[in-house]
């Protein structure tokens, strides 16, 4: 597999992951029973595992690390925040308001990760 194919696979998986998170968040806000379906509960783990695998492969292939590339380090920190906020939004939030706030913040983290990846600049907004 070429680097370009790996990069496009990673970007496609990121789009699928983000879209699926958005849909699950909307289902959470609507109190939909769709969130309880087995495939809805398992599919994100598969997609996100493949996404992480392609991310590690890209970093290895390009010889970059989160320590030596500030933009990559910022993405890793934002990814951890995204995972924690997503967990609050979809599972651990005590109230719908807490879940909604965590959902919006997680979407912000996702957007930050994407923008940082495109610009290769952790402070792209300045």
- Is the pLDDT at 67 greater than 90? The verdict is no
- Is the pLDDT at 10 greater than 90? The verdict is yes
pLDDT of residue 65: 83
pLDDT band at 125 (very low <50, low <70, confident <90, very high): confident
Average pLDDT over residues 54-75: 91
Helix (H) or strand (E) holding 6: helix 3-29
Taken in order 63, 53, 24, 66, is the CA torsion positive or negative? negative
pLDDT band at 79 (very low <50, low <70, confident <90, very high): very high
Q: Is residue 23 part of a domain?
A: yes
pLDDT band at 68 (very low <50, low <70, confident <90, very high): confident
3-state SS record for 33-65:
HHHHCHHHHHHHHHHHHHHHHHHHHHHHHHCCC
Helix (H) or strand (E) holding 86: helix 70-87
Q: Is residue 27 part of a domain?
A: yes
| Average pLDDT of the residues of the chain | 94
Q: Is residue 91 part of a domain?
A: yes
Angle, CA of 116, 45 and 61, to the nearest 5°: 50
Q: How many CB atoms lie within 10 A of CB 26?
A: 12
Q: Is residue 125 part of a domain?
A: no
For the chain, the distance separating the N- and C-terminal CA atoms, rounded to the nearest angstrom, is 36
pLDDT of residue 64: 87
Q: What is the pTM of this model?
A: 0.89
Average pLDDT over residues 72-78: 94
Q: Is residue 68 part of a domain?
A: yes
pLDDT of residue 111: 96
CA atoms within 13 Å, Cβ hemisphere of 84:
6
Total number of domains in the chain: 1
- The parent domain of residue 102 ranges over 3-119
Q: Is residue 124 part of a domain?
A: no
């Amino acid at each position: 597999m070429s680097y370009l194919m790996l990069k496009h696979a990673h970007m496609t998986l990121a789009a699928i992951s983000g879209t699926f998170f958005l849909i699950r968040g909307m289902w959470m806000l609507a109190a939909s029973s769709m969130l309880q379906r087995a495939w809805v509960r398992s599919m994100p783990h598969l997609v996100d595992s493949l996404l992480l695998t392609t991310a590690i492969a890209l970093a290895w292939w390009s010889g970059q690390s989160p320590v030596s590339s500030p933009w990559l380090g910022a993405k890793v920190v934002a990814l951890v925040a995204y995972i924690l906020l997503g967990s609050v939004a979809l599972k651990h939030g005590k109230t719908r308001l807490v879940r909604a706030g965590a959902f919006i913040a997680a979407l912000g983290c996702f957007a930050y990760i994407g923008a940082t990846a495109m610009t290769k600049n952790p402070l792209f907004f300045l």
